[in-house]
Structure 1
Amino acid sequence: MKRVTWQVTWHAARRALFLAAGLAVLAALGWSVRGFESLMASGEVVLLDLAPVDPRSLIQGDYMRLSFALERQQIRLGAPTGTVILKLDERRIGSFRRLGSAGPPAPGEQAFHVRAQPGGDGVIVEPHSFLFQEGQAELYANARYGIFRVDAAGRHLLVGLADAEAGKIEPR
């Protein structure tokens, strides 16, 4: 009789453990989504100059491969990841000013988180692709800037692409 009771108890405990683990995963995902939604709603707008290429993927559909001007500069972070300080012009277009380790951003500047390129000679701005609805390639072909929402720590999200006049490209 004791053996049956132990098996029933173990089975119930294992089920409760799986339920608790599932709830923890859902809570972590919800927290992450909440953070991204907050960044999209309240982050500062920063535009980065880009050099787009327009490929097509059979799996992803239409997308634009992105290469940012910031990645073509010789910036040595000295660590795998770090922050650069961007100088913002009147249209909020960012250009490299200095490394974040040299001090916090001043008025008219914005912190921006980047990764070091392999070998350390340059930085990587992510993401490197922008997905859009099939058939919209012509609309995005003239994209000149990536539009990011950035928080005070430099965490950023790509939220759109902009044309030469820094106006957001909106699908019809």
Structure 2
Amino acid sequence: MSNTIRRALFLVTSLAVLAVLGWSVRDFEALVNSGEVVLLQLAPADPRSLIQGDYMRLAYGLERERITLGAPSGAIILALDARGIGSYRRVAGTPGTGELAFHVGSNAAGDGVLIEPHSFLFQEGHAELYAQARYGIFHVDRSGRHLLVGLADTEARKIEPR
């Protein structure tokens, strides 16, 4: 294979990788900007990692409920209260007023759900502030795809270091 062909293949491959990354970033930005805000109750643990720095390992209250998806992943329907705090309503179906779909995975035993992500990284030195976290703040689109964007305290206020 000649050097010209190799360079052309390298250039085409590089452009394809950049296009995929750009599309992914654009997709997540759209979710952050237009997704509905939902808070899920947390069960936080161990806010320190020697390799990653300060972080909080997350577990969600919904993961403790006995919810059977019947598949490796799927959507559950959450009911939202006046503060935007989500609680389990049912598996799948069409969301009604005050409800939305939320994509989850099934746990290994098949009798519960898994919600990603399970960690939240934050700037070193803010562990005490984030130890107050009681809710994960998600942006959720109509299909149930979600993105964790922050943590909130007991009053459902976003925790923001000064």
TM-score, scaled relative to structure 2? 0.97
Q: Which structure: larger Rg?
A: 1
SS at match of 2:31: helix
1:95-127 deviations in Å (ceiling 9; x for gaps): 000011xx2111100110001101211000000
Q: Does 1:38 align with 2:25?
A: no
Q: 1:106 aligns with which of 96, 104, 107?
A: 96
Aligned length: 162
Q: Are 1:11 and 2:8 counterparts? A: no
The two structures, once aligned, show a CA RMSD in angstroms of 0.9
- Confirm or deny: 8 A CA contact 2:68 2:106 kept in the other structure: yes
Once the two structures are superposed, residues 51-72 of structure 1 have per-residue CA deviations (whole angstroms, 9 ceiling, x without a partner) of 1113311111001111100000
Residue type matched to 2:146 in 1? H
Gaps of 5+ in 1: 1-6
Q: Do 2:47 and 2:131's aligned partners in 1 also have CA atoms closer than 8 Å?
A: no
3-state SS in 2 of match to 1:61: coil
Question: In the alignment, which residue of structure 2 is the partner of 1:142?
Answer: 132
Give the alignment's TM-score, normalised by structure 1.
0.91
What stretches of structure 2 of length at least 5 have no aligned partner? none
Question: 1:43-62 residue pairs with structure 2 within 5 A?
Answer: 43-62=35-54
Partner of 1:67: 59
Paired residue for 1:119, among 106, 109, 121?
Answer: 109
The runs of at least 4 aligned residues of structure 1 exceeding 6 Å deviation read none
